[in-house]
Structure 1
Amino acid sequence: MSVDRPGVRIAVLGGFGLWVGGEPVAVPGGSERVLAFVALRCRAAVPRHLIAGTLWPEASERRAHADLRAALARSGAGRPALEITPAEVRLAPGTTVDLHHARRTAQRLLDPAGPHRLPEVPLDAVLALSTDLLPGWYEDWALAEAEEWRQLRLHALETLAARLGAARRCAEAVTAAQAAVHAEPLRESAQTCLVRAHLADGNPSEALNAFTRYARRLHEELGLEPTERLHRLAAGDVRPARAPSASRGGHAGVTRRREEW
C-alpha cells in the first residue's frame, strides 16, 4: 500500500531551504546538514556511516552515529524528504532539489554528443547556472561540492554564451558571459566570452572597457597580464598571428570580424 507524501522541495543553491507542501519549513542545524548532504547525492542511497563520519569528523564513531540519529529524530517536518533505514538514508520519491535541475542544464550544454541546441529559455538557464552552492558553509565536504559545481557552471555559462553569440542572440550572450565573469572575475576564458559577446553585438568600446577592467584587476590582484590573444581580441584583431599594423586604428575592422564569433 503506497503512502501519499506531501510535495517536498530542497534548495541548496543560494543557501539551504526546505519546503513541504509548498510551505517553508525550518529544521535544526544538524538536520539541515543531513538533508543537504543527502540531497547532494541525487537519488543514491547514502550509508549512515558515511554521513556520520563526514558530518561529525572529530567525534568518535559511536558519538557520530548518535549525533546522526539525533539529527534525524529532530528533522520533524523535514522527515518526508527522506527514506531512512538502519543502514542508509536517501531522498524520498517526489523530493526535488534545485541543484539536480541546474546540473542537468549544465550537462546538456556540455555534452559533446548532444544536439547542441539552445535552452528553450536561455535566460532561465543563465539564472540556474549563476548561483553558488551553499554559500557560507565552510565544512570541507560543502566546500568541495561548491567548487565542483562552480567549475561545472562556469564551463556551461561560457558554452552557452558562445552558442548564443553564434546564433546572433548577442544580448543574451552578453548576459551569459557576464554571469561567468561575475562568478570568477579573474578567469580569462570567461572574460574572453564577454569580449567576444560585446564585439558580436557591435560594441567594441564595451569590449575594450571589459578588457581594461579585467587587465587592471588581474595586475592588482595577481601581478599578471592578460594573454596576447585576449589583447588582440579586445583590439578587434582575432587573427592568430601578425600584430595589427599602425595604419589600422585600435578597433579598425571590427565590423567585419565580429561576424567571426
Structure 2
Amino acid sequence: MGAVTVRLFGRLDICCGDKPAGTLNARRARELFCYLVLHRHQPQHREMLADLLWEDASPEQARKYLRQALWQIQSALHPNVDANGPQPLEADAEWIQLNGCPELDVDVTRFEDNARSCHGIPGPQLDDAARQRLEEAVRLYRGDLLEGWFQDWCLFERERLQSDFLDALEKLVCCCEARHDTEGGLAHAKRMLAVDPAREQAHCHIMRLHLLAGNRTQALREFQRCERVLMQELGVKPSRQTRALYESIRDGRIDDPLSERESIVLAGGSSGTSHDLLPTLAELLERARHLFMCIETRLRNDNAAAEAARGKSE
C-alpha cells in the first residue's frame, strides 16, 4: 500500500505509490479531485459540483458524469488507503467532501498548514521552529497552482495561494534582515520579484540587505532597477519612502539600515519622524489606478486564454 501523492503547485502530478494514478486520466475527474482537495475543509453540494464542472450538460447528464468522476476518484484512492482507517472521500446523496488521511499527501495542504502556523507572528519575531516551517512552505511552492488551468475557480485559488506565498516570503525576508542573514534574505526577496517584479517592498528589502552586506553600490543599483521596473510595469515612480531610503544610502547617512527609524517604517509602525517617508495620497491613488488597469488587462488575457482552451477541448 503506497501513499497518494498530489502535487498541485506547478503542473498537476498525482501518483499512487510510485506510479501515476491511472484511473484519474479523465480531465473532469482530475478537475473534480483538485477542487475537492482545495475545498477540503467543507462539504460540497452535488448539484453545485455538477453545475460547476458540466455546465453545458443537462442536469441529468451532469449528475451522471459526476457519479462517474467520483467512481474514478474512489478507484484511485481505495487501493492505497487503509480500509480500517479514516476514508478520504465521504459522499452521500447530497454532499461530497475530501478529508485528510495519512495516506493522502498534498503539497497545498502542507503549504497552508505551515503558513497558517505562523499567522500573526511578525517576521523579525520568528523563532527557529517558525522560520523552519515557513522555509518548508516556500520550498513546497514549486510554481503557481495548476499551471495551464484557466477555470474561474482555479484562477481565484491561484491568486489566493500566490498571495500567501508572497506573504510567507515577506516574513522570511524580514526575519533574515533582523538576523543579518543577507544571503538567505536576498534569495527570498529575489523569489518575490520573480513572481511580482513590481513589488516595491521587495526592492527595498534588497537595498537594505546589500547595505547590510557592505555592498553600497549594489544597493544603489537596486533602486535604479526598482525605478525602471515600476515605470515599465505600472507607469509610476518609486514612493517617497523608497526614494528616502535610496537617498540615505547614497548620501551615506545610514550604515545600519535597521536603525531605529528604519525598523519602525519596516515594521509598519509610526513615530514622530516617519510620517515624511510615507507616500502621499495622490501617489497612492495613482498607483491604485495603474494597478487596476494591470489587473483588468490580466483578466482579459486570462479569459481569452480560457476561451481558447475550451475551444480546443471541444
TM-score by length of 2: 0.69
Q: Is the 8 A contact 2:212 2:256 kept in 1?
A: no
- Residues 114-160 of structure 1, C-alpha deviations (whole Å, 9 max, x = no match): 97324237654432346311121110000000011111111121111
Root-mean-square deviation (Å): 2.7
Q: CA deviation at 1:75?
A: 4.1
Q: 1:211 aligns with which of 211, 217, 223?
A: 223
How far apart in 2 are the matches of 1:7 and 1:28?
Answer: 21
Structure 2 residues without counterparts, runs of 5 or longer:
79-87, 264-314
Residues 213, 69 of structure 1: alpha-carbon distance in 2 compared, 3 angstrom cutoff:
same
Q: 1:86 aligns with which of 93, 105, 116?
A: 93
- Residues 84-121 of structure 1, C-alpha deviations (whole Å, 9 max, x = no match): 43333333523121011111222233324997324237
Structure number with higher helix proportion: 2
Is 1:233 aligned to 2:250, yes or no?
A: no
How far apart in 2 are the matches of 1:38 and 1:216?
Answer: 42
Q: Is the 8 A contact 1:18 1:78 kept in 2?
A: no
- How does 1:121-200 map onto structure 2 within 5 Å? 123-129=135-141, 131-200=143-212
Residues 136, 174 of structure 1: alpha-carbon distance in 2 compared, 3 angstrom cutoff:
same
Q: CA deviation at 1:9?
A: 1.8
Give percent identity, aligned residues only. 26
How far apart in 1 are the matches of 2:220 and 2:69?
Answer: 53
Structure 1 residues without counterparts, runs of 5 or longer:
238-249
Q: Is the 8 A contact 1:25 1:78 kept in 2?
A: yes
1:243 maps to none
The SS at the match of 2:238 is coil
Is 1:25 aligned to 2:27, yes or no?
A: no
How far apart in 1 are the matches of 2:50 and 2:163?
Answer: 27
Q: Is the 8 A contact 2:8 2:107 kept in 1?
A: yes
How far apart in 2 are the matches of 1:103 and 1:50?
Answer: 25
Residues 196, 129 of structure 1: alpha-carbon distance in 2 compared, 3 angstrom cutoff:
farther
Q: CA deviation at 1:76?
A: 7.1
Aligned residues: 245
Q: Is the 8 A contact 1:194 1:207 kept in 2?
A: yes
1:116 maps to a residue whose letter is: L
How far apart in 1 are the matches of 2:209 and 2:119?
Answer: 19
Residues 84, 189 of structure 1: alpha-carbon distance in 2 compared, 3 angstrom cutoff:
same
- Residues 174-229 of structure 1, C-alpha deviations (whole Å, 9 max, x = no match): 11111111111112223222322222232222222222222112212322111021
2:199 maps to a residue whose letter is: R
Q: CA deviation at 1:45?
A: 2.9
2:109 maps to 100
Q: Is the 8 A contact 1:165 1:173 kept in 2?
A: yes
TM-score by length of 1: 0.81
The SS at the match of 2:149 is coil
Q: Is the 8 A contact 1:109 1:159 kept in 2?
A: no
Q: Is the 8 A contact 1:13 1:133 kept in 2?
A: yes
Q: Is the 8 A contact 1:48 1:87 kept in 2?
A: yes
Residues 233, 176 of structure 1: alpha-carbon distance in 2 compared, 3 angstrom cutoff:
same
The SS at the match of 2:155 is helix
The SS at the match of 1:19 is strand
